[in-house]
Structure 1
Amino acid sequence: MLLRERRWDRWSTFCLRFEHAARELAKDINAPRLATITVPRRSFDRWAKGECVPRPDTTLILERLFGVPSEDLFSPALETLHLQVPSHDRDGLSALLTITENWSTSRLFMPAGELPGSWEMVGRQALDGTASAVAFRPAIRSGSTAQIDVASTGSFDRFLRSARRGFLVGVDDRESTPQLFVIDAANARRARATSPGRSVIELPGAHVLDDLTYGLLWSLVQFDDGLLTDDSALAQERHALDTYLALPRSAPSHLAMPDLTTAGTQWLGSSFCARHIMRRLDGLTEPPVLGTREQTGEQAATWLWFQHKIEYLRALSSRYADSAASMSRAFCISESEVSRSDRYERILLLLAISLMELQGIRVDVLPDPEYSEMDGFALIPERRAVVANWTRTDGAIWAVDTVTQRPALRGYREAAGEAQAHSVMRGPDPQTRLRALAGYLEIDWTWLIGRCRELRECGTASIVRPRSRHLSVEALDEVFHFFGSFAPDR
C-alpha cells in the first residue's frame, strides 16, 4: 500500500529511493556495508506481495525509507493501519486503500484529527494534475440509494463552505470491499440546505465510485482547475485568434504563451482548430472526410467537457444534414495504446466516440500503429485538406495548414480509406459499431449500458459541476441518454 501511495511500485523507481536511504543510513550510523546493499527485482516483487521478509540489514534500510517498523511493513495493510488509526478515521482509511488500490493516478493525504484530507489526481500525458479537498463520512446503501451521514461538526461545516473544490465521499464498509459514493462538496452543501435538520443526505446509487465516475472526476477537475487558472489570459488571447484565422497556416509556440496551463493550452488550440476548419469549409455542399489525432481517453475527454466541442459537432452535423453522403471521422488507436491505458481512460475514449456517432458522424477506428502520427484533417476529396492539429504538436499550441498538393491529398485519402476498410467498428448502426469498439477496448458492454442508464436518471451535474465557463456537462448527459436507449443484449 505504501509503494502505491508514494508511486514507488516500479522496481526501477523503488531502487533509486532505497539506495539513497541506504547511503544516508550508512553514513548516520557509520556502517559502510549498508551502502552496498541493492534490491534484486525478484526480491522487490516478493516483498510487494508479502511473500517474504528481508534480512536484518535490509529491514533497517526499509524502516529508514518508510518510517514504519518492519513488522508492520510486512503485515496486511488494512489490519495494521486500523490498529493505528482512531475509530473516527476508519472511513477515510478504507477509502484511501480502495482508491489507491484501484486508480494509480490518485493519491490521498489524510491529516490527523478532523481536518479534511487532500485528493490528488495526476495526468498521464496530457494533463497537469491537481488536488481537491476531501472528507469521508459513513454511508449505507439500500437498494438504489445511499445515505451519507452529514451530521454537523465545525470542521465539516467549514469543509462544505470552502471556496476550494471539494468532494464528500460516503464509505459503506459493511462488505469486504467497501463501496464509495461521491458528490461534489458544493452539491452536498446544497442538498443539506434543502433538508435542514436532517443528519443524512440521500444519493442515487449512480454516484458509486467506479471506473466510469472516476474517469469523469479525474478528467473534469484537471480541466476545470487549469481553465480557472487561465481564465483571464484566455479571454485576452482569444481576441488575437482572428489574426491567425486570416493566415493560411500557423503554428504558434508554447513559448509565446508560457503562463498557460496544459488545460488552457489545449482549450485554446482546440478552439482555434474548430474555427479554422469551419471557416475553410464555407461553401462546401458535401461533407468532408475527417481524421483526428486523439488516441487516449485523456486526450479525447476534451470532446466530453469543452463547450465549444459539442457546438462544433452540432454545427458540422447541421451544415451537412441534407447531404446524401454521410460524414465520417477516422481515429488510429493501436492495440499497444489500448493496453497502456487504464479502463477508466478507455471508457472516456468510448464515450467521446459515441458522442460523434450520436451527432451522425460515423467513426472508423484503425488499429494499425503505422498511422498513429496521422494529422487531424478535414479532407475535401480531389480539392484540398484542411489540416488542424492541437494535440501532440511538438511544442506548438496548434499547427494548421491548407494542403492542395496531390501527393499529400493522396496520403490523407489513403489514411481515411484504411480506417474504413479495417475499422474495429463494424456494423450497420451506431449500437453495433460502438459495441464492437467496447469489445476492442475491453469494456463490459452490459455493465456500461446499465451504468449509463443510472447516470441518465440523475445527470452528471448531480455528482459534479464544472466551475469554468468553458466547460459543460451537456455532451455527457446526451451520451448517457444515447447509451441508455441501447439494448444491452445486442
Structure 2
Amino acid sequence: MGQQPKVLMPEQSPQHRLGYVIRELRSARGLSMRDLAARTFVSHAKVQRWENGARPPKDRAEAELIDRALDAGGAIVELWQEIERGVSGPSHVSDAAPHVSDTALDLATALSQAAASDGEGIFIPRRLDDGTVVLVALDRRALLRAGAGIGAAAVAGLPTPAAAVISAADDPFGFAKRATENWSGLRLSRPFPDFGVDWQALLPGGRSTLGSQLSLQVHPARIEGSRVIASIPDQRRAEEFLARPNRSLVVGAVNTEDVSRFYALDGRAARGKLAKNGGVYEVATPTAYELDDLTYGILWAVSNYDDALQADDQALAEARSDLKAYERLSASAVSREAAPGLNTVAHMWLGSDFCARHILRALPDLPTLPAFWTREQRGEEASAWLFFDHKYPYLRETTKALGGTSTRAFCVPEYVVRSSPRYERILMFLAVALMESLGIHAQFTADPAYETVEGFVVAPDKEAVIANWVRGDGMWHVDLTARSSVVREFTIAARDVDADSLTAAPTAAGRLRALAQYLDLPWSWLIQRCGQLAQYGSSGLIQSRSRLVSAAGIDAACTYVASLPADH
C-alpha cells in the first residue's frame, strides 16, 4: 500500500467523484485500464467512461464487482449509492484545513474487509467534517494483526500510510516506478538502514502460492553486443549484498533514448562475476535476461515454488515417506490433513508427484492408446510442468511408454484468460509448448461446462485412470476404473474437445500459434524472446534452492519455441 489517501474535491459531481476514485485506486493497485476491464469482464471503453464520469456503473452489482476488483472496501458502492440518491455534496470548498474525527474507525468492519481481501491492503471511505470524501489506506496484514493487539493504532483516525510514496530521488533509475506499473501486486520498499539492499521486493502469491521476497541492487549499465555491463561503484557494498544466502538480484539499468530498460542476474550467479575494469568493478549479464513479462513470470513462479518447498523441505520428505503406503491401493482420496502443517505449495507438489507415479504404473495395462485430460488453467498451476522436478521426466516417460504421440486436453474458458496477467499466460503457453515438444498434441476448449471434469487418462470406451490434484478438495484423488458410466463420461469429453479444439491444426507450430492467439500473446515476440533465453538458459536469471525445483522444463520449452517458424 504505497499510496497516500486520496481526497476528492467536494465541488465535483458524484459521477466525477466516483470516476476519480476508480482511477486513483486502479493506479494505486498498479493496474492498467485493460487490467481492470479484464477483472470486471467489460470493455476498455467502458472503464474509460467510468473514470471520466461519463457513465457510472449501471447497477449495484456492477459497482460491487468494481469494488472487489480494486479491493476498495466498499468505497465504490458507497459513492454509487450517492449517485443513486442524487446527492452532489457541499457546493463550496472551505478555506479551513479539514480534519478527520478523532473517533476510531470501526475495527470489526475493517478486519472483516481485510480478511475477505486477497490484496496487500484495503481502502476505507471516510467523510471529513466539511463533506470531503477521504479514502483511508490501511495495510491488510497490520489490520489482521490488530486483532491480536498489534498495530491497532493504524485504524484510529487518519493513519500514516504503510509506505510513503517513492520519490524520484529514491528511484534514480525509475526501476520501482516501471516495475510496479508493469506488474500488479509487486511491492517494492527501500529498507532503512539498507545494509547493502537497494530494494526489498515482495512478489505476490496466487490462489495456492504464498508469495516470496528477494533483495535487489540496481546499478547503471551499458550494452556491449549481447551483454549488459553493470558498473558497481562500491565493491564492498556489493560483496556484502551478494554474500548473503537469501535470494537476490543484481539489476543493470540501461537508459537509451530516454527509455530505461532493466536486466537481471541472480545473486549467486553474480558472485563469481565481479571483475575490475579501470578501477571500477563490473558484472555482466546477457541481454536475454531483460526484465519483461517472460522473465518476470519465471522469477515469480520459481520464487513462489522454491521458497515454499525449501521452507518445508524436511517435513515434506517425511510426509512423502509416510504417504507411500497409498501406492499399494488402486484408489485413494487423500485430504490435506494427512500432511498437517505443510504449506499449500508442498501439498501441490505431493499431489502432483503421487498422481504422476499413479499414471505411470497404470499406463502399461491400458488396452488402447489413451487420451489425457488435465485441469491446469492458469500459469500458476501450469508452472508445475515447467519447474517441479518430477514433471518433465514424467512427460518423457509417458511418451516413451506410449511409443508415439498422444493427446492432452485443457479447459481454459475466456474469463480465465481475461483475468490472468500476461506473465501467467506466457507460463501457460510454455507448459503446453513443453508437451508439444515431446509429441503430445494439446487440445483446448473454452466451454466452462468442462471445468469440473477431473484429470484423467482414458482408453476410450474401455478403461480410465483418474489422477487429479489441481483445484481438488484434497491433495489428490486417484482411481482405476472400468465402470461404464465413468469411462463413457471421460470418452465423450475427450472426443468433444478433439472434434472442436480451439487449437486444431495439423502441426505443433500451428497448434501453438493458435494457442498464442487465444491467450493474446504475440507469436513473433515469443519466438524471439524464447530464443534469446534458450541461448543462455534460465539458471543465471534465477537459481533454485530447493532440490524439488528444476529449470530443465523451462529451458526445454524455450528451446523448442525458439525452433518454431516465426512466420508460420
TM-score with structure 1 setting the length: 0.84
- Is 1:456 aligned to residue 534 of structure 2? yes
- Is 1:373 aligned to residue 447 of structure 2? no
Match of residue 387 from structure 1: 466
Match of residue 14 from structure 1: 72
Secondary structure class of the residue paired with 1:425: coil
Match of 2:408 among 329, 354, 357: 329
Q: Does the 8 Å contact 2:30/2:180 carry over to 1? A: no
User: In structure 1, what residue type is equivalent to 2:558?
Assistant: F
Q: 1:196 to 1:249 in 2, by over 3 A?
A: farther
Match of residue 110 from structure 1: 190
Q: How many residues align?
A: 445
1:339-359 C-alpha deviation (Å, 9 max, x unpaired): 010111000000001111111
- In structure 2, C-alpha distance between the alignment counterparts of 1:370 and 1:424, rounded to whole Å: 15
Q: 1:383 to 1:349 in 2, by over 3 A?
A: same
Match of residue 141 from structure 2: none
Match of residue 400 from structure 1: 478
- In structure 1, C-alpha distance between the alignment counterparts of 2:291 and 2:299, rounded to whole Å: 10
Secondary structure class of the residue paired with 1:170: strand
- In structure 2, C-alpha distance between the alignment counterparts of 1:102 and 1:384, rounded to whole Å: 47
- In structure 2, C-alpha distance between the alignment counterparts of 1:218 and 1:146, rounded to whole Å: 22
How far 1:286 sits from its partner (Å)? 4.1
Secondary structure class of the residue paired with 2:101: helix
Identity %: 35
Secondary structure class of the residue paired with 1:119: strand
Gaps spanning 5+ residues in structure 2: where?
A: 4-24, 32-65, 78-98, 105-122, 138-156
Q: Does the 8 Å contact 2:101/2:129 carry over to 1? A: no
Secondary structure class of the residue paired with 2:432: helix
Q: 1:135 to 1:57 in 2, by over 3 A?
A: farther
State the Cα RMSD in Å. 3.0
Match of residue 132 from structure 2: 58
How far 1:106 sits from its partner (Å)? 1.1
Match of residue 37 from structure 1: none
Q: Does the 8 Å contact 1:286/1:320 carry over to 2? A: no
How far 1:67 sits from its partner (Å)? 4.4
Q: Does the 8 Å contact 2:505/2:511 carry over to 1? A: yes
Match of 2:425 among 346, 350, 353: 346
Match of residue 101 from structure 2: 26
In the TM superposition, 1:78-117 aligns within 5 A as 81-82=167-168, 85=169, 89-91=171-173, 94-112=174-192, 114-115=194-195, 116=197, 117=199
- Is 1:136 aligned to residue 222 of structure 2? no
- In structure 1, C-alpha distance between the alignment counterparts of 2:393 and 2:135, rounded to whole Å: 57
Q: 1:255 to 1:196 in 2, by over 3 A?
A: farther
Match of residue 226 from structure 1: 308
Q: 1:27 to 1:195 in 2, by over 3 A?
A: same
Match of 1:185 among 263, 267, 288: 267
How far 1:161 sits from its partner (Å)? 0.4
Q: 1:188 to 1:65 in 2, by over 3 A?
A: farther
Match of 2:322 among 228, 236, 240: 240
Match of residue 268 from structure 1: 350
How far 1:288 sits from its partner (Å)? 1.6
How far 1:424 sits from its partner (Å)? 1.2
Q: Does the 8 Å contact 2:335/2:475 carry over to 1? A: yes
Q: Does the 8 Å contact 1:139/1:149 carry over to 2? A: yes
Q: 1:339 to 1:212 in 2, by over 3 A?
A: same
Match of 2:392 among 292, 307, 310: 310
Secondary structure class of the residue paired with 1:354: helix
- In structure 1, C-alpha distance between the alignment counterparts of 2:133 and 2:486, rounded to whole Å: 62
Q: Which moved more, 1:115-124 or 1:101-110?
A: 115-124
Q: Does the 8 Å contact 1:4/1:101 carry over to 2? A: no
Match of 1:433 among 511, 515, 521: 511
TM-score with structure 2 setting the length: 0.73
- Is 1:485 aligned to residue 563 of structure 2? yes
Q: Which moved more, 1:347-356 or 1:8-17?
A: 8-17
Q: Which moved more, 1:210-219 or 1:56-65?
A: 56-65
Match of 2:364 among 282, 302, 316: 282
